Chain A
Amino acid sequence: MPAAEGTAPLAVILDQAGLDGLLTAIRAKGWRTIGPRVADDAVIYDEIETVADLPMGVGDEQKGGYYRLKARGDQALFGYTSGAQGWKRVLYPPRQKLFSAKRTASGFTIDPMAQPDAPLALIGVRACEMAAINVQAKVFGDKDFADPGYQGRLKGALIVAVECTRAGDTCFCDSMGTGPEVGTGYDIKLVEMVGKAGVTYVATAATDKGAKLLKAAKGKPAAEADLAAAAKAVKAAAKQSRKMETATSAKLKDVPEHARWDQVAARCMTCGNCTMVCPTCFCTTVEDVTDLKGDHAERWRKWDSCFTVDFSYIHGGAIRTEVRSRYRQWITHKLSTWHDQFGQAGCVGCGRCITWCPVGIDITEEVAAIHDSTKGRK
């Protein structure tokens, strides 16, 4: 039932019971609901069933090399900013079996992997994360060689976005143009309104399947004023302490010999944390395993990081032996050459690389340093 032209998209107000009803409706339709929950002192995205699984009253504090949960003293379910890791964990798992092979009398046979089970419902996708999902969809959706796993999981997925009403200290989506308002790709969008009277959700459907589910959740229709209040609350999250100099960052490929690379190399530990938590980093390696008899073999694809020496190894030695070359590769790809490859930046401004860097290297600060040093030069 597509909305008639000119009519506003379906928008309702849900309380937390209504939100629970929405989750129930989603699960009843066969989606596996993945959403935020607290584990190991962090917000992670994992299997959830009801609203009771969500991180109630949990906020977070993030800064360079620092992540702590803290109690908000309210009933908010989405009171944190972004989870420790993005959604690539579910859409492009860290370990994926590519195929298994069996030795036969005349050689071997290859058995492709069966395609995944239940479709996923992603609950609580932030604007930056939605942008990251779209970035990866481009990477894995090449016209010649698409990744059927990612494509299949995304195509079958239901996406419930949550717009932020507060920015974390490491956030810079506003300067990347990826938030706090969520872009395209979601089915339902929520804005969590925390008031004296309790917590409510302004829920808007963007697709037919989203609208059907919202109807099933039985909220009361949202008024103009509700929508305006929600939009205003989201605007507040655009106030961010960090910003990316995007004009300079897009041109990093032009300064491969900049002195700043040595400076940052002196701090970078090449641990690869930034690449693991980055919601768009897509590099992988492969691993071959066999059983002890050598009759059964498997090929696995695993997340990899351009910060390892092995990453660039060809016979005779690695290409990028120095730390400066590896950091330069990561940030130049993310911010600059990604434009040439995919028509946009590979960074969505989520700030995870800053939060999870053990020494607090800040991608925006590195670009700013290069920006300042090249100002006025053409």
Chain B
Amino acid sequence: MTAVPRDPMLPVLFRIEKVRRDLSDTFTMELVPEAGGEFSFKPGQFNMLYVFGVGEIPISISGDPGDRSVLVHTTRAVGAVSSALDSLKAGDQIGVRGPYGTAWPIESAYGQDVVFVAGGVGLAPLRPAIYHAMNNRERYGKVMVLYGARTPEDILFKKELERWRGRFDMDVLVTVDRATGKWSGNVGVVTNLVARGGFDPLHTTAFVCGPEVMMRYGASALEKKGVARDTIWISMERNMKCGVGLCGHCQWGSHFVCKDGPVFRYDSVADLFQVREL
């Protein structure tokens, strides 16, 4: 028996290096550990971010897993803690616990086509996996990013999407639910982009992240194209107070989304998707 372990509920202090506004309600922070050192994580994992005196929320990591010098989080301000986070600026401190949860098994897709299907801010948890694919481009067949946003003004990481689209070794398709302004691109749900295909369904691994209903339809659109359930991966969102399986809030059937997820293989949870209010 070793000594009593460190309390997993204790955050570590990080300093905000840079804040970038992505959208009217969405921002990206670059953080460095106050005590120095590196932060390593796997694509798809999340941290619990603590704002002094306000509270703590689970936020997925949106940076490049190949760069351990900085921790990157992209957050949409929708509640008390995320709004408080939004009010912080470079030089301020926050508490960080993590990284927690399962990862996108991006390395298991070597030799395959890889399709990223994202909705809204769901592009953020996928971005580390996309970075990994780009850093190891020669290991994959086709790399596709299919992205849906509510309006053209809600397109996250727009410049980056444009840059990716400019590459000759990557396919990027974007659609919006509702066109505004001068938008002349795709209009409609992201599943329409899946239906267009362009990947080899028998040799494709798909990573899907967005609102639950979008993931449900996204996964079934992929299935309809012939992608097997066991090569489709999704990332769940649930209320989390601890991130380490102790508070009980994130339960989804037998799963603690915080430690058995957030990334699940679709065939292992497809039945749960069918149950309302589970």
Contact = CB atoms under 8 A, between A and B. Distances in A.
B241 A320 contact: no
Interface in B232-248: 237-239, 241-242, 244-248
Contact of A101 (B53, B79, B242): B53
B277 A286 contact: no
Interface in B208-252: 237-239, 241-242, 244-249, 251
A315 B79 contact: yes
Task: Point out which of B6, B53, B238 has the most chain A C-beta atoms below 10 A from its C-beta.
Answer: B53
Contact of A145 (B244, B253, B278): B244
A53 B56 CA distance: 43
Contacts of B249: 283, 285, 304, 311-312
A294 B53 contact: yes
A312 B52 contact: no
A159 to B, nearest CB: 18
Interface string A310-329: 01111110011110110001
B9 A301 contact: yes
Interface in A98-157: 98-99, 101, 103, 106-110, 112-113, 115, 139-140, 142, 144-149, 151-152, 155
Contacts, number: 130
Interface in A280-297: 282-286, 288-290, 294, 297
A257 interface: yes
A285 B247 CA distance: 7
Contact of B256 (A98, A146, A341): A341
Given A253-B253, A314-B239, A110 B11 contact: yes
B54 interface: yes
A170 interface: no
Interface string B181-193: 0000000000000
A242 interface: no
Contacts of B237: 314
A333 B244 contact: no
B52 A284 contact: no
Name the interface size band of chain A: 35 or more
B195 to A, nearest CB: 27
Contacts of A13: none
A112 B4 contact: no
Contacts of B28: none
Interface string B97-117: 000000000000000000000
Contacts of B36: none
15 contacts: A101-B52, A101-B53, A101-B95, A106-B93, A110-B13, A112-B7, A256-B275, A282-B246, A284-B247, A286-B55, A304-B247, A320-B277, A325-B278, A337-B254, A341-B256
